[in-house]
């Protein structure tokens, strides 16, 4: 790899520029002629695909079924729930022509699918026997934001799941929340090596049309928060707008209770930001499309011998996603740099020394630690190291997250935290939107959520000094 192909900026010095460079130079994504729409190249799509397979399997275990609803939504349907419509219409992309014809009615490209799903739910649900109905979709949605786009973090098209459940009682609907957030948190931990802070959104920040919203909040290296997966308790709002009723066991016609939940490709931005370093991407081993790269150190006089040994090592490692980089015309150093930039978790080097001594040399991407092991132990050692990398990435990310939650009692401390240390200020709040608004106005920070895991409640609201009701996390947020 030549020097201009590598990163020209350090992560700690200019995170934003580093982020853009690492995404493109590592081949993780690319841009297109449509602003705010990106290409997920194989290494990023593999992360998403692996994550979705894992989450989908967990969904199925608890009885959630997958479906597919149309991309296009008639305008009149979108208008049915007014709060929802007002929330989304500023960023809807409209289809108005097809072939050479003008359409009679504009069709929205789904920004989310509540309305088209619920129009059908109303037809399908008749009695308590049809409930619960727990349907999910894995699809693409479009939200035409006019702010400056940032790959994964703010893109006009993204991939996600959208779960839309219907229950016969409020109690059952409420019970779904911990199940779903638990699945997301576990998948984030087990696959992406990412921790998050689950909690409830404020009224001001909740989803358009929901009764209560919940989120898992993450933290980027620049100290800005980023909302990950979310869960919305819709109460009977949509049921009333879409006439989703059922006959209960007593024969009464009742409105149903609904929830929605989602995880999106946004999380890919977080793994890039959190795990990456000045050499490039660092991919969590479970989701890396190449987990191990074998680089043979070839010299003219020994290349046949070294390549033959490298192929045997590859055979040993066939239980992993492994690539042998036998490209001609590139030096080992060039290849080392390139695979580091791409974030491959383990590099196995094979040179004459390894062949003659019956060993292999393995280097970890996360720490740069290098070790030698016996040929016969290669697979076991690789497995141990991949697990160790995953554990280390998670531990580092968790330490960073926890180290950036500062418990504050006074407005001075809150402002100080947001200005200097960044991250989350965990502060007492009276629950009043006027305090929330003022804090946002004066500091730029919003309430990311009110964490389920609460610090000890400080008595007085950080802003107005009246009695506080809850500890809320304030942060500048993407």
Q: Does 122 bind a second copy (CB under 8 A)?
A: no
Question: Backbone phi, then psi, for 358, in 5-degree steps?
Answer: 65, 40
Touching a second copy, residues 269-298 (CB under 8 A)? 289
Q: Does 140 bind a second copy (CB under 8 A)?
A: yes
Residues across the chain: 478
Which of 17, 20, 87, 144 forms a contact with a second copy (CB under 8 A)? 144
The residues, ordered by sequence, that sit 6+ positions from 188 with a Cβ below 8 Å of its Cβ are: 194, 195, 196, 216, 228, 229, 267
Touching a second copy, residues 310-349 (CB under 8 A)? 327-329
Which of 124, 380, 412, 459 forms a contact with a second copy (CB under 8 A)? 124
Q: Does 107 bind a second copy (CB under 8 A)?
A: yes
Strands 101-109 and 72-74: antiparallel
The residues, ordered by sequence, that sit 6+ positions from 61 with a Cβ below 8 Å of its Cβ are: none
Q: Does 467 bind a second copy (CB under 8 A)?
A: no
Q: Does 74 bind a second copy (CB under 8 A)?
A: yes
Q: Does 104 bind a second copy (CB under 8 A)?
A: no
> What single-letter DSSP state applies at residue 90?
G
Complex with a second copy: residue 70 or 403, whichever CB lies closer: 70
Which of 6, 20, 69, 469 forms a contact with a second copy (CB under 8 A)? 69
Q: Does 139 bind a second copy (CB under 8 A)?
A: yes
- What is the rounded distance in angstroms from the CA atom of residue 437 to the CA atom of residue 450? 16
Min dist CB 313 to a second copy, Å, is: 19
Q: Does 57 bind a second copy (CB under 8 A)?
A: no
Token couple for 183: 């699945």
Query: Which residue has 């990435």 as its token pair?
Result: 393
Q: Does 80 bind a second copy (CB under 8 A)?
A: no
Q: Does 123 bind a second copy (CB under 8 A)?
A: yes
Complex with a second copy: residue 48 or 424, whichever CB lies closer: 48
Query: Which residue has 């791409």 as its token pair?
Result: 342
Complex with a second copy: residue 249 or 300, whichever CB lies closer: 249
Within 10 A of 179 (CB to CB), how many other CB atoms are there?
14
Instruction: Count interface residues toward a second copy (CB under 8 A).
Output: 59
- What is the rounded distance in angstroms from the CA atom of residue 449 to the CA atom of residue 181? 14
Question: Backbone phi, then psi, for 277, in 5-degree steps?
Answer: -140, -170
Residue closest to 143 by CA, chosen among 188, 113, 184, 99: 113
Positions that interact with a second copy (CB under 8 A): 30, 32-34, 37-42, 45-46, 48-49, 53, 65-74, 77, 89-100, 106-107, 109, 116, 119-120, 123-124, 129, 135, 139-140, 142, 144, 146, 157, 159, 289, 327-329
């Amino acid at each position: 790899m030549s020097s201009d192909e590598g990163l020209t900026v350090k992560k700690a010095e200019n995170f934003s520029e580093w982020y853009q460079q690492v995404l493109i130079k590592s081949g993780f994504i690319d841009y297109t002629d449509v602003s705010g729409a990106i290409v997920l190249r194989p290494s990023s799509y593999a992360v998403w695909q692996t994550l979705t397979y894992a989450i989908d399997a967990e969904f199925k275990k608890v009885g959630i079924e997958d479906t597919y609803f149309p991309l296009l939504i008639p305008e009149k349907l979108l208008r049915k729930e007014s709060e929802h419509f007002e929330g989304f219409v500023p960023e809807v992309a409209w289809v108005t022509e097809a072939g050479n014809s003008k359409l009679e009615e504009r069709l929205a490209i789904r920004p989310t699918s509540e309305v088209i799903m619920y129009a059908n739910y109303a037809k399908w649900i008749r009695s308590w026997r049809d409930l619960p109905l727990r349907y999910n979709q894995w699809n693409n949605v479009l939200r035409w934001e006019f702010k400056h786009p940032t790959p994964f973090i703010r893109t006009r098209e993204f991939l996600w799941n959208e779960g839309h459940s219907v229950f016969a009682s409020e109690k059952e609907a409420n019970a779904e929340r911990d199940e779903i957030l638990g699945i997301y948190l576990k998948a984030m931990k087990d696959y992406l090596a990412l921790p998050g802070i689950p909690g409830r959104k404020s009224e001001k920040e909740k989803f358009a049309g929901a009764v209560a919203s919940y989120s898992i909040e993450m933290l980027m290296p620049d100290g800005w928060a980023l909302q990950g997966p979310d869960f919305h308790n819709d109460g009977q709002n949509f049921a009333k707008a879409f006439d989703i009723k059922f006959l209960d066991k007593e024969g009464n016609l009742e409105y149903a209770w609904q929830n929605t939940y989602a995880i999106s490709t946004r999380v890919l931005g977080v793994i890039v930001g959190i795990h990456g370093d000045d050499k490039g991407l660092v991919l969590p081993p479970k989701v890396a499309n190449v987990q191990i790269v074998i680089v043979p150190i070839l010299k003219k006089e020994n290349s046949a011998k070294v390549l033959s040994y490298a192929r045997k090592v590859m055979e040993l490692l066939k239980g992993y996603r492994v690539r042998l980089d036998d490209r001609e015309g590139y030096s080992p150093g060039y290849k080392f740099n390139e695979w580091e930039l791409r974030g491959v978790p383990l590099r196995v080097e094979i040179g004459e020394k390894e062949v003659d001594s019956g060993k292999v040399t393995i280097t970890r991407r996360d720490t740069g630690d290098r070790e030698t092991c016996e040929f016969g132990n290669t697979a076991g050692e690789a497995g141990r190291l991949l697990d160790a990398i995953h554990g280390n990435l998670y531990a580092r990310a968790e330490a960073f997250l926890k180290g950036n939650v500062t418990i504050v009692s006074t407005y001075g401390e809150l402002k100080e935290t947001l200005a200097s240390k960044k991250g989350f200020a965990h502060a007492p709040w009276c629950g009043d939107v006027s305090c929330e608004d003022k804090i946002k106005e004066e500091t730029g920070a919003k309430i990311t959520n009110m964490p389920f895991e609460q610090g000890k409640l400080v008595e007085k609201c950080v802003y107005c000094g009246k009695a506080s009701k809850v500890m809320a996390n304030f942060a500048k947020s993407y």
